[in-house]
């Protein structure tokens, strides 16, 4: 699946380069094999995701095939769990049953996986979600991201046992503050991977480079933020995102993509006054093309109905306000100028204070 995605992106990038498609090409820097997904679709068939952890030789072969498939041009990394219920011989997951398993046995299974996968020298970088995946049907993906206990200590031990490999820690780390704590506790970690925390409050990570890598943290001179081309505040970010969103809507019909376009900025003001009003406005913006296409009515007609605003490829919705403008208007209407113009550093300072 990773190769198909990569091929697709490569094709898209070259098409855009040739056609001058507006310049948002995908330039991937690595391929990642997902051996951590616990979806029920995966569990039964044992063919991808976390079920792969029970067959490390197959994972090694997949890694080799991915490397060869990319012509040897891209590193292949592996995302995994610390194990699966099946590999530990658990017929049904219970806290007591799992708790009775000896740490040494569980850790040696994880070592065996890492050692086998890394043994031909291709995969050297692992991102580890530090809880087991429970692949029995009764466990939902959401359960699988919260019920099995986190065992960060296994990932820390891997960094000591295999200094020639690199490991990133994942699972339950929700803030930049916590990420920094874990990195300080174990400097041999290559990184921290954050999933849901980042999705819920992306702005909370806007200072990550500075806090984690510059070594000067929140005490640095505020002028450091000026001088590169990254957005300096969320108003600039929305302006920049708006250009991307308009481009997307010129190449794909907004009736299909507007909801995704609007949803992507929905958590940007998490924790700020009136964030909910902004999210509600984005929801409305997300549903607008469908409404317009249906001639202003909320009753959705079959897709393809074109009574109202038509989509003109290369332009967007005929005669309608661009999505960039709608988003900016909603931001100005519901959020204060102070919030819109606050810097990543101010956000980081507030969050530190809250921790
Ligand atoms: C909605 C959703 C989609 C995810 N998709 C992927 C994925 O495509 N590939 C992957 O390796 N992990 C995926 N994950 C798992 C996360 O990368 C991460 O391992 C997991 O959420 C635990 O980290 P967290 O506690 O920081 O969220 C997904 C998680 C969520 C909630």
pLDDT (tens digit, 9 = 90+) per residue, 240-252?
A: 999 999 999 999 9
Query: CB of 290 closer than 6 A to ligand 1?
Result: no
Query: CB of 36 closer than 6 A to ligand 1?
Result: yes
Query: CB of 197 closer than 6 A to ligand 1?
Result: yes
pLDDT at position 331 over 60:
yes
Q: Which residue has the higher pLDDT, 340 or 14?
A: 340
Q: Could you read off the pLDDT of 219-248 as tens digits, one per residue?
A: 444 444 445 677 899 999 999 999 999 999
Q: Could you read off the pLDDT of 67-82 as tens digits, one per residue?
A: 999 899 999 999 999 9
The CATH label, of 3.20.20.70, 3.90.660.10, 2.160.10.10, 3.30.70.100, for the domain at 2-200 is 3.20.20.70
* Rounded Cα gap, residues 105 and 27, in angstroms: 41
* Rounded Cα gap, residues 59 and 88, in angstroms: 18
- Report the separation in Å between the CA atom of 195 and the middle of ligand 1, taken as the mean of its atom positions: 5
Q: Are 312 and 318 in contact (CB under 8 A)?
A: yes
Closest ligand 1 atom, residue 174 Cα: 26
* Rounded Cα gap, residues 44 and 264, in angstroms: 32
Q: Which helix (H) or strand (E) holds 125?
A: strand 125-129
In this prediction, residues 26-52 reach a mean pLDDT of: 83
Q: Are 160 and 184 in contact (CB under 8 A)?
A: no
36, 53, 195, 208, best to mutate for ligand 1 pocket (most atoms within 8 Å of CB): 195
Residue nearest to atom 21 of ligand 1 (CA): 195
Give the pLDDT band of residue 21 (cuts 50, 70, 90): very low
Apex 112 CA angle, 145 and 172, nearest 5: 20
So where are the chain's domains? 2-200, 234-354
Query: CB of 171 closer than 6 A to ligand 1?
Result: yes
- Write the ipTM: 0.98
pLDDT at position 110 over 80:
yes
* Rounded Cα gap, residues 346 and 271, in angstroms: 14
Enumerate the active-site residues: 37
Closest ligand 1 atom, residue 129 Cα: 19
């Amino acid at each position: 699946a990773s190769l198909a995605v990569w091929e697709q992106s490569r094709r898209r990038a070259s098409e855009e380069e040739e056609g001058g498609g507006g310049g948002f090409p995908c330039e991937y820097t690595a391929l990642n094999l997902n051996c951590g997904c616990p979806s029920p679709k995966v569990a039964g068939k044992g063919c991808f995701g976390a079920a792969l952890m029970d067959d490390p030789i197959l994972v090694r072969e997949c890694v080799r095939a991915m490397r060869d498939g990319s012509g040897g041009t891209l590193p292949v990394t592996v995302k995994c769990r610390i194990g699966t219920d099946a590999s530990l011989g658990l017929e049904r997951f219970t806290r007591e049953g799992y708790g009775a398993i000896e740490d040494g046995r569980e850790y040696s299974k994880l070592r065996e996986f890492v050692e086998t996968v890394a043994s031909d020298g291709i995969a050297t970088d692992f991102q580890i979600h530090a809880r087991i995946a429970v692949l029995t049907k009764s466990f939902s993906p959401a359960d699988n991201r919260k019920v099995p206990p986190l065992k960060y200590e296994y990932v820390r031990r891997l960094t000591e046992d295999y200094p020639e490999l690199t490991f990133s820690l994942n699972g339950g780390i929700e803030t930049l503050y916590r990420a920094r704590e874990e990195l300080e506790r174990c400097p041999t970690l290559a990184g921290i991977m954050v999933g849901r925390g980042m999705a819920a409050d992306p702005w909370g990570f806007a200072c990550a480079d500075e806090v984690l890598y510059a070594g000067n943290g929140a005490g640095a001179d505020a002028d450091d933020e000026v001088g590169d081309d990254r957005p300096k505040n969320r108003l600039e970010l929305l302006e920049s995102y708006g250009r991307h969103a308009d481009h997307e809507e010129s190449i794909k019909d907004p009736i299909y993509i507007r909801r995704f376009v609007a949803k992507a900025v929905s958590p940007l003001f998490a924790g700020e006054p009136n964030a909910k009003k902004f999210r509600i406005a984005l929801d409305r913006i997300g549903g607008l093309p469908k409404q317009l296409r249906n001639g202003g009515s909320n009753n959705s007609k079959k897709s393809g109905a074109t009574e109202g605003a038509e989509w003109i490829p290369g332009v967007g919705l005929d005669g309608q306000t661009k999505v960039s403008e709608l988003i900016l208007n909603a931001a100005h209407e519901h959020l204060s100028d102070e919030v819109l113009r606050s810097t990543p550093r101010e956000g980081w300072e507030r969050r530190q204070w809250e921790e």
